[in-house]
Amino acid sequence: MRFTSETSSDGVSEQLFTLGEIPGVLWTPEDANGPRPLVLMGHGGGQHKKAPGIVFRAGRFVAECGYAVVAVDVPGHGDRPKDEEYDRIATANQARADAGEELAPLIASFQALVARRTVPEWRAVLDAVQKLDHVGTGPVGYWGVSLGCGLGVPFVAAEPRVRAAVLGLGGALSSAGDATRITVPVEFLVQWDDERVPRAQSLALFDALGSAEKTLHANPGKHAEIPAFEMDSTLRFFARHLR
Amino acid sequence: MRFTSETSSDGVSEQLFTLGEIPGVLWTPEDANGPRPLVLMGHGGGQHKKAPGIVFRAGRFVAECGYAVVAVDVPGHGDRPKDEEYDRIATANQARADAGEELAPLIASFQALVARRTVPEWRAVLDAVQKLDHVGTGPVGYWGVSLGCGLGVPFVAAEPRVRAAVLGLGGALSSAGDATRITVPVEFLVQWDDERVPRAQSLALFDALGSAEKTLHANPGKHAEIPAFEMDSTLRFFARHLR
């Protein structure tokens, strides 16, 4: 793990790093010392580790809860090289969608393909980050919606360090099997008028989660229109479970 | 409006009253003086104005938020005389359910019948209670699940003083028409394994609500098993909307 820059503002320290070929960012309280809860965040499709929705939430996790937060670029995103296989599939999928094919199954199978790389990458990121003195081996949470849900479900299913997860804007097509193996508390976000994920598939993914404690929050609006008050709920959800 | 008793404990004052033939209870902070938000609570079927779930929540609204809370017995419940028509219908419905008929439509049509009496009663209760110095004409909220949702949807649709409502454990069969006329923010509770209200009908009622801001919270468990953390969410929901 190699740190390439460190800045800080408003009490939040931001360290850019690479772990092998994976570019990442770690946010911690400026004066962080000793172990603390860690939230791994998965960004959305076409976004990257410092997308505004990631940076905004990470800032609140750090400033209001004292957590460490880590996010990395998904293959083919952000500072990572273009991935020829992914690009070929994405182009083919776009053509099929333009020709009238249903979008959700195409997205789902693409996310399942990407997850085969991101699950081991994210586990390695946890290994590396938890070795740092100002992160340590506290409880781990996961936050990811849309692509971050498609990749997050297999990650949370595979990674026993994760104690609680916020997921959503994703459907059951690719990940219902993994979802049944998730047993930690989940807060699951659904946009009632999601133009990308059919409502029934969102509800089916929530239904498939094996967790005894899971709570679905559905709000009107399109895919990207999660209301601001859900972030307050997310903070309280992690506060309950990442002690 | 006639007060019949007044007690107080833990900073919460409890006044029993009758308004015409309606027995009710008003909870306020012990030192209440001047206008404040008022929450009207509708109890569940077979319950009454001082059922444990009502008393517990009312206590938190008063103690933590300084609200006034009022609840009255639904006709045929609590301290009200038995209602022969309701009893006859309830007995007939039970026989039909025992004979294998679907329960939800029977419950729905019964609730629609009861609502024709409770909506004007509850509006009269608001009139009376808001004339009291220690309640006044602040913003009004409504809380009711199960029967309290079946009666609450037509009440909230009819009563412009209500600014926000927590509803749930109810289906679209009886009240979808009224639901479309609701425009205030709603927090809507669904029990994912509800044995009394089919999931699809719960989701259809949420869908029917005309509110621009509505948020559905679904949790695993049966009809009566709303998890405790939802009460924290309810408090924050009212705090956002009953300013």
Confidence of residue A234 (pLDDT cuts 50, 70, 90): very high
Range of the domain at A156: 2-81+109-241
End-to-end CA distance of chain A: 27
Which of B207, B218, B236 comes nearest A216 by C-beta?
B218
| CB pair distance less than 8 Å for A220 and B213 | yes
Any domain includes A92:
no
- Residue among B24, B23, B26, B28 at smallest CA distance from B15: B26
Q: Is A83 on the interface with B (CB under 8 A)?
A: no
pLDDT at residue B107 greater than cutoff 90 = no
- Identify from A187, A202, A229 which residue to disrupt to test chain B contact, counting B C-beta atoms within 10 A and taking the largest count: A229
Confidence of residue B102 (pLDDT cuts 50, 70, 90): confident
Secondary structure (3-state) at B191: strand
- Residue among B187, B191, B129 at smallest CA distance from B163: B187
| CB pair distance less than 8 Å for B233 and A233 | yes
Number of compact structural domains in chain A: 1
Q: How far is CA B88 from the centre of its chain?
A: 24
Predicted local distance difference test score (pLDDT) of residue A230? 97
Q: Which residue of B has its CA nearest to A226?
A: B215
Any domain includes A104:
no
Which residues, in sequence order, are bridge partners of residue B145? B168
Any domain includes A57:
yes
Averaged pLDDT score across all residues of chain B: 96
Q: Is A220 on the interface with B (CB under 8 A)?
A: yes
| CB pair distance less than 8 Å for B213 and A233 | no
Domain CATH for A145: 3.40.50.1820
pLDDT in tens, B37-46: 999 999 999 9
pLDDT in tens, A161-202: 999 999 999 998 878 899 999 999 999 999 999 998 999 999
Q: Provide the residue count of chain A.
A: 243
CA distance A146 to A177: 17
A218 within 8 A of A200, measured Cβ to Cβ: no
Q: Is A222 on the interface with B (CB under 8 A)?
A: no
DSSP for A31-56, please give it.
T--S---EEEEEPPTT--TT-HHHHH
Q: Is A203 on the interface with B (CB under 8 A)?
A: yes
A80 within 8 A of A36, measured Cβ to Cβ: no
Any domain includes A96:
no
| CB pair distance less than 8 Å for A213 and B206 | no
Residue found under tokens 């008063």: B62
Any domain includes A175:
yes
A78 within 8 A of A54, measured Cβ to Cβ: no
Any domain includes A103:
no
Confidence of residue A102 (pLDDT cuts 50, 70, 90): confident
Any domain includes A166:
yes
Please tell me the distance in Å from A109's CA to the nearest CA on chain B. Answer: 27
| ipTM of the prediction | 0.89
pLDDT in tens, A25-82: 999 999 999 999 999 999 999 999 999 999 999 999 999 999 999 999 999 999 999 9
Predicted local distance difference test score (pLDDT) of residue B172? 87
| CB pair distance less than 8 Å for B219 and A215 | yes
DSSP conformation class of A220:
S
Q: Which residue of A has its CA nearest to B210?
A: A220
| CB pair distance less than 8 Å for B219 and A220 | no
Tell me the mean pLDDT in the region B66-71.
98
